[in-house]
Amino acid sequence: MAVKKVKTKDKHIKNLARIVESPRSILYHEEDLISYDCDGFTLHRHLPKAVVFPKDTEQVAKLVKYCDDNELPFLARGAGTGLSGGAVPLNGEVIISLVRMKRLLQVDLENRYAVVEPGFINLKLTNSISDKGYYYAPDPSSQSCCTIGGNVAENAGGAHCLKYGVTTNHILGLEVVLPNGEIIEIGKDGVPDRPGYDLLGILTGSEGTLGIVTKITVRILKTPEAKQTVLAYFDEVTDGSQAVSDIISKGIVPAALEMMDKTAIEAVESASFPVGHPRDIEALLLIEVDGISAGIGEQIEQIMEVCNNRNVREVKVAQDEEERGRWWANRKTGFGAMGTISPDYLVQDGVIPRSKLPEVLNRINQISDKYGLRIANIFHAGDGNLHPLVLFDARNPGETESALKAGTECLQVCADVGGSITGEHGVGIEKKEEMRFVFSDDEIMAQTDVREVFNQKSLLNAGKLFPTPGRCVEVKIETKEAASV
């Protein structure tokens, strides 16, 4: 029996290996564990006790039960692309990796849903059904490698969430292993309405603190008949921001409405997919409209008119799918492209009321001046979801701390104008203290009380999401680590 080969005296490792039925389904040597010491948020690292790779729900439930019985901290991990540290094993957790549970279990086109295992890659779903004219809407930038299970945990967004909503709007059912090892199923067969409390809602976006999702029923949509994409260049950020509001005010709901500022344009034009954006403009908008062919032309005309009324320097429509693809590839390199203009960067993720866009961008400029650090802005303007990217060089003493402070101040600005501290990246470790910007103690307590119902022993992913002194593990910022991904 293969299990004999597990070479360790640690009884827990042996028992965990027995549950996953193979020594190839568990990692426990330090050199193997290093890849699992952080996720896409690299400022805090910690080695897990072990990483196990269950193959089905039953194994997940047994692993969880074992951890619960033996008081071993544990957490779930998908592709590890999260940007707020949700999968970092702060307490030396046993990591339950779901990457081997990656099957597409069912597709029901007539009732518009699909059932997947948590390790199934986001983009693969659209690729599996696009020939039949369907797609899965949430499209985080990491969609070619992130898992739908991770998307559920973080309630992931994406460029096209303005019209179609974030992950929570597309989840119809979940199978979940609770922290005590019980398996529950919420919603099934694509039926959207459920009586009782909205457990589906509370589990989606709970950042791996309430249970481990082992099966997911998602809504699939008909591929829009037509798409058109507009690119508009502005000499003034305010004009660009105002155009965003004007478009929405017209009653047009674009599928995507993205904005980049001058620094961001410099980066994407220096990276892998330059498309020739002028380097001297202050802002560009990338606007996509989709739907029935007949309505599209008129919406595009209205958008062009809005841009013209707001002193646009140039506005153009993608001439074909190839040009549209190039514009999007250019936009989607955004974060990574920062590497071309800065050794390190810290991405923030605030949300503001759309009408506050000019004011907030102005205040972010002031923060940039204050710390002497460039801040690039590349974001989902249509839904007010900002991504200020603080550029810094970790090799310069004190610069990482300054970048972190600048990032926090950006979030404070978002909160001050009535916004929030995360749109789609989650709170994780990164922003747990900043939760105080938007929630009172009572409001945080109402949430941690809910957590305790599910997660009584605090073994599952402790120290995340909430600033609860005495309950959470305190996190020290290890400034020696680079922040770039």
DSSP secondary structure letter of residue 121 = B
Tell me the C-alpha to C-alpha distance, in Å, between residue 213 and each of 76, 106, 209: 9, 17, 11
Looking at the Cβ atoms of 341 and 347, the one nearer to a copy of itself is 347
Total residues in contact with a copy of itself, by rule CB under 8 A: 88
- CA 144/CA 268 separation, integer angstroms: 19
Q: Which of residues 229-258 bind a copy of itself (CB under 8 A)?
A: 245, 248-252
| Residue whose entry in the numeric block shows the structure tokens 């990457």 | 99
**CB-CB contact of 37 with 47 (8 Å):** yes
> Does residue 450 belong to the site contacting a copy of itself (CB under 8 A)?
yes
Token pair in block for residue 310 = 């707001």
Of residues 331 through 390, those in contact with a copy of itself by CB under 8 A are: 351-355, 383-385
E-state strands within 33-103: 50-52, 74-77, 94-97
Encoded tokens for 280: 């001297």
Q: Does residue 58 bind a copy of itself (CB under 8 A)?
A: no
Phi-psi region of 291 (alpha: psi -120 to 50; beta: other; left: phi over 0): left
Q: How far is the CB of 216 from a copy of itself (least distance, A)?
A: 16
Candidate ranges 2-10, 137-145, 163-171, 471-479; the one touching a copy of itself (CB under 8 A): 163-171
d(CA 184, CA 196): 14
Q: Does residue 105 bind a copy of itself (CB under 8 A)?
A: no
Nearer to a copy of itself, 38 or 465 (CB): 465
Question: Residues 255 to 294: which contact a copy of itself by CB under 8 A?
Answer: 291-294
Which one of 35, 70, 130, 169 is in contact with a copy of itself (CB under 8 A)? 169
Considering beta carbons, is residue 28 or 164 the nearer one to a copy of itself? 164
Residue 167's CB is within 10 A of a number of other CB atoms, namely 27
Among positions 156, 166, 260, 286, the unique one binding a copy of itself when judged by CB under 8 A:
166
Least distance between a copy of itself and beta carbon 189 (Å): 3
In the complex, the smallest distance separating the C-beta of residue 106 from a copy of itself, rounded to whole angstroms, is 12
Q: Does 299 bind a copy of itself (CB under 8 A)?
A: yes
Cβ closest to a copy of itself, residue 235 vs residue 359: 359
Is 440 an interacting residue with respect to a copy of itself (CB under 8 A)? Answer: yes
Distance of alpha carbon 336 from alpha carbon 345, whole angstroms: 9
Taking the C-alpha atoms of residue 353 and residue 293, their distance in angstroms, rounded to an integer, is 31
In the complex, least distance from residue 281 CB atom to a copy of itself, rounded to whole angstroms: 25
- Least CB distance to a copy of itself at residue 96 (A): 20
Q: Residue 143 has what DSSP assignment?
A: T
State the burial class of residue 276 (Cβ atoms within 10 Å of its Cβ: 0-12, 13-18, 19+): exposed
Q: Which helix (H) or strand (E) element contains residue 236?
A: none
Site map 410..429 versus a copy of itself, x via CB under 8 A:
--------xxxxxxx-xx--
The contact mask relative to a copy of itself for 107-126 (x = CB under 8 A, - = no) is -xxxxx--------------
| Binding of a copy of itself by 138 (CB under 8 A) | no
Q: Quick one: CA torsion of 477, 203, 40, 372, rounded to 10 degrees?
A: -60
Closest separation between CB of residue 16 and a copy of itself, Å?
24
* Site map (CB under 8 A) of a copy of itself, residues 190-229, x = contact: xxxxxxxxxx-xx-xxx---x-----------xxxx----
Return the structure tokens found at 92: 């030396």
Whichever of 70 and 169 has its CB closer to a copy of itself, that residue is: 169
Binders of a copy of itself in range 387-406 (CB under 8 A): none
Structure tokens at 257: 């409405």
If the CB atoms of residues 148 and 210 are measured against a copy of itself, the closer one turns out to be 210
Which residues pair with residue 387 across a beta bridge? none
Contact present, 285 and 258 (Cβ < 8 Å):
yes
* Cα–Cα distance, 313 to 214 (Å, whole number): 50
CB of 86 to a copy of itself, least distance (A): 12
- Closest approach of Cβ 351 to a copy of itself, in Å? 5
Output the smallest distance, CB 194 to a copy of itself, in A: 6
Ranges of H-type helices in 209-261: 237-249
